Every structure is written in structure tokens, then in C-alpha cells.
Amino acid sequence: MSTLKTKPFTLFSDAGVEKEPRRLRFDFNALADFEQTNGMGLGQLLTMKAVFGTARAMLWVGCKWDDPRLTLQKAGELVGEYIGKGGSVDQVLGVCFEAATDQGALGTPVVKEEEGDDDDSGNGPAPKVLEVASKRGGNSSKKPNP
């Protein structure tokens, strides 16, 4: 049994796509499944423009530990339905990348800053992986800092 702390994935339940939130876990098996499905590792895909395939695969490998019936096709349908309700593929990728980073799937896990160390936005610093992901050419809803 994995000791990784899972991350809630509430985008779909908040948007009414699903009733209950899912939980993301990016352990060794998830990373191996991602690599096998996409023909390359997660870190390699960060530099590419494979936005839709990456979002679908990240969601699938991150959630299938808790829902073995979830298929790659169903994960894609969920992402598509979420986008149809006004969400974005970058929001899905952002939550998945944040979970993968926090769980050490992309190197050393992110150390959380103490409360009160947020920047002026009140949201704290963006995870480094999101900066890398935004350079890949996707349509990010995040605006760059002036």
C-alpha cells in the first residue's frame, strides 16, 4: 500500500460533471502506466504540446488506483464534458501537475511554505511545474505576472 498522500480532484464535482470528487495519486505504478500509454515519461511530455492527450492520461493514471473501472476513454470523456461546462484543459492539467509535483513524481516533492508567505495575490507562488507547463504552448487561463 502506498504511503503517498492523495490530492482531492474536485473540478468535475464542482462543475456538476460527477457527483463525488476523485483523489489523485501519482505513485510508481501511475508513472509507469503514463509512460507505457504515451511512449514517454511525464517529464518529457512537459516540453511538448500534447495538451489533450496529456490531460487525459494524467487524469486516468492519477485516479485509476481508486477506481480500477476508469478507462483512458472515460477519462477523456470526463475532461471533454468538463470543458463543455466552461472548464479548461489547463485547469485539469494544473491540478494533476500540482498533485504529481507534491507527491514527488516530477522530482523532489514541493515543500509547502508557512502560512503568511503568500505573494500579493493571496494565492502563494505558482508551482514550478506549472511554469514549465505554460511554456509548452497550451491555452493557460493564468495571466503572467507583470
The series of mean pLDDT values per 10 residues for the chain, 146 residues long, is: 80 96 93 87 70 90 94 96 95 92 76 44 39 44 41
Tally DSSP H helices, then E strands, for the chain.
7, 2
Contact 51, 136 (CB under 8 A): yes
pLDDT in the model for residue 41: 78
State phi, psi for 73 to the nearest 5 degrees: -60, -45
| Cα gap 12→72, rounded to integer Å | 16
pLDDT in the model for residue 110: 54
In DSSP terms, 54 is beta-bridged to: none
E strand or H helix at 7: strand 7-9
pLDDT in the model for residue 4: 77
pTM of the full structure? 0.69
| Cα gap 134→98, rounded to integer Å | 13
pLDDT in the model for residue 51: 81
pLDDT in the model for residue 25: 95
Cα-Cα-Cα-Cα torsion 104, 132, 123, 78, nearest 10 degrees, comes to -80
pLDDT in the model for residue 44: 72
pLDDT in the model for residue 50: 67
Contact 36, 132 (CB under 8 A): no
| Cα gap 49→146, rounded to integer Å | 25
